[in-house]
Amino acid sequence: MQVVGEIPIDWEGPAWALAEDAEPMAIVLSEHGDIRIDWIDGEEPAPVVESEEAKERAWREEPVYCYLASQRGGPRWKRVLWKVTRAEAMRLCSDDRTKGPGWMVVWTANPGSQKDDDWRWFRDNGSMDHVLREFGIKPITGKEGKRAAA
């Protein structure tokens, strides 16, 4: 199989123009939005090799958990406030308004393997609503997994 090339996701040209010679082809779309056209010579299309940009975009959009960390220890389990994207968590946790004397909001992709043993949903008291609103973040909160109003 010969890989002809990658087409950017915002490409709007006619797909039929690429196949005027009527050779068999496959249009492959990755889970992150990369499109590639493979000319097929009797084989299955090769797996999509994602661009570094697509990998970075996917990494930033993965869900993570924001939780309260205490300088003095606190409970043995993580107090999870919100589920947001990694990009949103990075913005929230780097803002000075999400820390105070002896505490801060931090994030993790893996809060622990055992819910209720390693982590628990912690009731958000609304003290950081203004920060969430300013960033336009609508986190998932609580046991029911409801999206909060921003």
Q: Report the percentage of the chain scoring pLDDT > 90.
A: 28
Angle at CA of residue 48, ends 12 and 64, nearest 5°: 95
Query: What DSSP letter does each residue of 13-57 carry, written as one string?
Result: S-GGGGGTT---EEEEE-TTS-EEEEE-SSSPPPPP---HHHHHH
What is the model's pLDDT at position 13? 47
Within 10 angstroms of residue 118's Cβ, the number of other Cβ atoms is 14
Tell whether 116 and 90 lie within a shared domain: yes
Q: pTM of the prediction?
A: 0.61
Residue 55 has pLDDT above 60, yes or no: yes
More confident residue, 31 or 68: 68
Structural domain boundaries enclosing 22: 2-58
Tell whether 42 and 69 lie within a shared domain: no
Final residue in a domain of this structure, among 15, 40, 58: 58
Q: What is the pLDDT of residues 7-46, one digit of tens each?
A: 454 544 444 344 444 455 556 666 666 666 655 555 555 5
Residue 130 has pLDDT above 90, yes or no: yes
Tell whether 85 and 128 lie within a shared domain: yes
Buried b / exposed e along 26-52 (16+ C-beta atoms within 10 A): eebebebebebbbbeeeeebeebebbe
Tell whether 14 and 51 lie within a shared domain: yes
Tell whether 77 and 131 lie within a shared domain: yes
Tell whether 73 and 54 lie within a shared domain: no
Tell whether 116 and 49 lie within a shared domain: no
Q: Specify the number of domains making up the chain.
A: 2
Tell whether 73 and 119 lie within a shared domain: yes
d(Cα 78, Cα 117) in Å, to the nearest integer?
Answer: 9
Tell whether 52 and 93 lie within a shared domain: no
d(Cα 2, Cα 137) in Å, to the nearest integer?
Answer: 44
Tell whether 51 and 72 lie within a shared domain: no
Q: What is the pLDDT of residues 93-115, one digit of tens each?
A: 999 999 999 899 999 888 776 66
